[in-house]
Amino acid sequence: MAGGRRRGERLADAADARLPVNDGAGPLLRKAFPDHWSFLLGELALYSLIVLVLTGVWLTFFFEPGMREVVYTGSYAPLRGVRMSEAFASTIDISFAVRGGLLIRQLHHWAALVFVAAIGVHLLRVFFTGAFRRPREANWLIGVTLLVLALAEGFAGYSLPDDLLSGTGLRIAQGIMLSLPVVGTYVALFAFGSQYPGHDLVPRLYGLHILLLPGALLGLVTVHLVLVFFLKHTQWRAPGRTNANAVGNPMYPQFTASSGGLSLAVFGLLAALAGVAQVNPVWQYGPYRPDIVSTGSQPDWYVGFLEGALRLVPPWETTVAGHTVMWNVLLPAVVLPGLFFGVLYAYPFVEQRLTGEGSHEQHLCDRPRERPVRTGLGVAGITFYGVLVLAGGNDVVAATFRVSVNALTWILRIALVLGPVVAFFVTRALCHALLRAERARLAEGEETGEVRQTLAGGYEGGHRPVTSFRPGAPRVPLSPPSRPGGRTGTPSPERRAPESRNR
């Protein structure tokens, strides 16, 4: 028995010499992961992407990316005899003639919606907790780029069926291209291959949708995960947690079990949505015709802000040397998105330059209330985005509530300018109020509900020491800001901890 055990140990040592599994996998399996739910938001995007890839590969077996006109003779009776493109006909066949096709189509669409939403919410978590600071600026840039690619990938896939709704979106995209000064006509001809709508756009979008954009997404996700492992996770402040360590559950078995359970929950929820919640019923819209636009047309939510911006900008045009500059399209559809994503890319470097934090690493998360200015800016941005999304459906809102669409448009224009400003100041004031209340709670203790009469004849409430704390909450009274508008409420000792990247 002993000889057999020694022989097995020698074989294991020989195998490890050829492929050092124990030496390489040991630190990886012991890597610490935070146990707070907010750190799982990025995994929602990852598992949604897995569903997208699997269902997308299945759909490629049946989809025909052609714009040649055919007469539909398939199983969906209301459309028989209608002239349509090969792309639309194959989409109808997938929905009604292929076993399980409609379920997979809707699963793919729901996964796309959740994927974009998960990236956005994950970026918000990183923004409000300051997890974009050194040494994670590169991961923030990758995250914003993933959001841009996810928007482009979603729009490309949304446009492939060549139905009336997606065709309307492509017509808007062509108008945006034409709004580019001087080069607009050439860009539109390059994209569509000829005069609109042409016969090349769907095949070109198909190549982008199944090859180029997914490859870029998978590559950036891989780099993102590698950087997460190398740089270690951020964590909430708590006793024993500093910039020099990482406290949490080991990757195996605790984190693997919880993450695996989350993946099954995501897969199950997406499958349930695909089975009971109808999405993108292209057979109701019909095939695209350039001379028809359906009423109440609404894009998927993630591009609704562009639709709203186009509807809110007045019809401004300028003619210079025989060339017409369409400001009502150029500003909301080209300049505004460029500025928005430019601010997102630059924000980590600007904030660290202004606060002086770019010179040392930050591995502890901020609570949003501790950074009133940053939190106010974030809420202002969310308000700005929300007004644009609401404006993207101003006709539907006006019809539903029986109000004038012109009056609603002017209300939303005013809200777009004043809403973010009001949101910033209200949020900043609320953050300061929360910090003052927390400072008083830590200094005086929690109220017990008992009231006692003092010797002077007055009354005072009873207090007991604070024993329960939320994630990241300080255990000692917070210091007030050293200067007006300065960084508020962060205990300095933990922020001065030695820098290290040990995992």
> How crowded is residue 8: how many other Cβ atoms within 10 Å of its Cβ?
10
* pLDDT on residue 502: 40
3-state secondary structure at position 121 = helix
Q: Report CA-CA distances (Å) from 349 to 219, 361, 485, 498, 499.
A: 24, 13, 19, 22, 19
Mean pLDDT on 354-369: 89
- Tokens describing residue 404: 């004038």
Q: Using an 8 Å Cβ cutoff, are 187 and 177 in contact?
A: yes
**What crossing angle do the helices spanning 101-129 and 256-276 adopt, rounded to 10°?**
130
Of 161, 179, 126, the residue nearest 306 (C-alpha): 179
Mean pLDDT on 114-132: 95
Q: Which residue is listed with tokens 């482009």?
A: 152
Mean pLDDT on 20-46: 74
> Which range has the worst mean pLDDT, 8-17, 40-49, 205-214, 422-431?
8-17
Of 272, 392, 381, 243, the residue nearest 332 (C-alpha): 392
The set of long-range contacts for 60-66, using a CB threshold of 8 Å and a minimum separation of 24, is 60/210, 62/90, 62/93, 62/94, 62/98, 62/101, 63/87, 63/90, 63/91, 63/94, 63/160, 63/206, 64/89, 64/90, 65/160, 65/202, 65/203, 65/205, 65/206, 66/202, 66/203
Burial of 33 (0-12, 13-18, 19+ CB in 10 A): buried
Of 347, 365, 370, the residue nearest 131 (C-alpha): 365
The set of long-range contacts for 168-174, using a CB threshold of 8 Å and a minimum separation of 24, is 168/288, 168/293, 168/294, 168/297, 169/299, 169/303, 170/197, 170/201, 170/288, 171/196, 171/197, 171/290, 171/293, 172/307, 172/310
Q: Report CA-CA distances (Å) from 1 to 12, 13, 157, 333.
A: 17, 18, 62, 75
For the stretch 153-187, pLDDT in tens is 999 999 999 999 999 899 999 999 999 988 888 99
Burial of 111 (0-12, 13-18, 19+ CB in 10 A): buried
Q: Which residue is listed with tokens 């708590």?
A: 238
> How crowded is residue 501: how many other Cβ atoms within 10 Å of its Cβ?
13
Q: What is the pTM of this model?
A: 0.86
- pLDDT, greater one: 472 or 428: 428
What is the distance between the alpha carbons of residues 43 and 228, in angstroms, rounded to a whole number?
12
For the stretch 376-404, pLDDT in tens is 999 999 999 999 999 999 999 999 999 99
- Tokens describing residue 395: 């006709």
Question: Which pLDDT band holds residue 410 (cuts at 50, 70, 90)?
Answer: very high
Of 254, 188, 230, 334, the residue nearest 34 (C-alpha): 254
**pLDDT of 17 over the 80 cut:** no
- Tokens describing residue 30: 């012991």
- Tokens describing residue 350: 């600007």
Q: Which residue is listed with tokens 């500025």?
A: 339
Question: Which pLDDT band holds residue 478 (cuts at 50, 70, 90)?
Answer: low
Q: Using an 8 Å Cβ cutoff, are 33 and 255 in contact?
A: yes
- pLDDT, greater one: 451 or 496: 451
Mean pLDDT on 20-49: 77
3-state secondary structure at position 490 = coil
DSSP letters of 295-322? TT----GGGHHHHHHHHHS---EEEETT
* pLDDT on residue 480: 55
How open is the CA angle 267-272-277, to the nearest 5 degrees?
130
Q: Report CA-CA distances (Å) from 424 to 174, 285, 337, 342.
A: 36, 41, 21, 20
Count Cβ neighbours within 10 Å for each residue of 161-180 and write b for 16 or more, e otherwise: bbbbbbbbbbebbbbbbbbb
Kindly report the average pLDDT of the chain as a whole number. 86
- Tokens describing residue 342: 């430019």
> How crowded is residue 365: how many other Cβ atoms within 10 Å of its Cβ?
25
How open is the CA angle 150-156-158, to the nearest 5 degrees?
100
**pLDDT of 408 over the 90 cut:** yes
> Which range has the worst mean pLDDT, 4-8, 266-270, 390-394?
4-8
- Tokens describing residue 177: 């291209």
Mean pLDDT on 92-104: 95
Mean pLDDT on 5-25: 50
Q: Which residue is listed with tokens 């009354």?
A: 459
What is the distance between the alpha carbons of residues 415 and 387, in angstroms, rounded to a whole number?
7
